[in-house]
Amino acid sequence: MSETSAWVIFIAAIFTNNILLTNFLGMCSFIACSGQIRTSIGLGTAVTFVMIMTTILNYVIYHFILVRFGLVHLQFIVFIAVIAAFVQLVEMFVERFSPRLYFALGIFLPLITVNCAILGASLFMIIRKYSFVQSVGFGLGAGIGWAVAIVMLAGLRQKMRYSNIPEPFQGVPIAMVVTGVLAMAFMGFAGMVSIQ
């Protein structure tokens, strides 16, 4: 595990081990915000940025503080605090220096705190014992993978608005089934590279 190159992990996190389509993380905002391509691109970008930064921060905090002082069992509460604080910081920063971007991202920034993909990426990084460079590759890849998936679903859902769907399946259920088909398509990448 530990000798896999960061580049391989980066590719694998996008395609073969897509954090959304194989690990099911970040489903809530995935279903809720995939109505339009524009919004999903905004959200995807924000998630990618926050994910890579928080994996780096959490890596440093985990290895240099929690492990050193034997506080590993507190990892959940520390990680979620780091993520919440970072999101808040980014929000203030963006608001101050780039109001246009701030309005473009709108409510997506605070929503990211409760996106389980962010916390999940940090937890996977610990469980799979990644080194620092590998963690960076994984964080970036997982974020891009999530963004790719949500943009694809948004495109499909825009088309689906014109199709005739059985009544009980309208709305969320059909989105789930379509995501299943997407996941099936992504299974085609399996074997290309693999992690875990």
> Where along the sequence are the contacts to other proteins (CB under 8 A)?
21-28, 31, 35, 73-77, 80-81, 84, 114-116, 119-120, 123-124, 127, 166-177, 179-181, 183-184, 187
Least distance in angstroms from the C-beta of 120 to other proteins? 6
Alpha-carbon distance 161 to 35, whole Å?
Answer: 10
For other proteins, give the closer residue by CB, 5 or 71.
71
Alpha-carbon distance 45 to 39, whole Å?
Answer: 10
Tell me, rounded to whole angstroms, the distance of Cα 51 from its chain centroid.
6
For other proteins, give the closer residue by CB, 114 or 151.
114
Alpha-carbon distance 130 to 137, whole Å?
Answer: 10
Least distance in angstroms from the C-beta of 37 to other proteins? 13
Backbone angles phi, psi at 63, to 5 degrees: -80, -30
Alpha-carbon distance 77 to 167, whole Å?
Answer: 42
Q: What angle do CA 99, 105, 111 make, to 5 degrees?
A: 125
For other proteins, give the closer residue by CB, 3 or 167.
167
Nearest residue to 20 via CA among 125, 116, 127: 116
For other proteins, give the closer residue by CB, 101 or 183.
183
Least distance in angstroms from the C-beta of 60 to other proteins? 19
For other proteins, give the closer residue by CB, 90 or 101.
90
Least distance in angstroms from the C-beta of 98 to other proteins? 26
Tell me which amino acid residue 58 is. Answer: N
Task: Give the residue carrying structure tokens 């959200």.
Answer: 43
Least distance in angstroms from the C-beta of 42 to other proteins? 16
> Over the Cα atoms of the chain, what is R_g?
17
For other proteins, give the closer residue by CB, 67 or 100.
67
Least distance in angstroms from the C-beta of 73 to other proteins? 6
Q: Which residues contact 136 (CB under 8 A, 6 or more apart)?
A: 6, 52, 55, 56
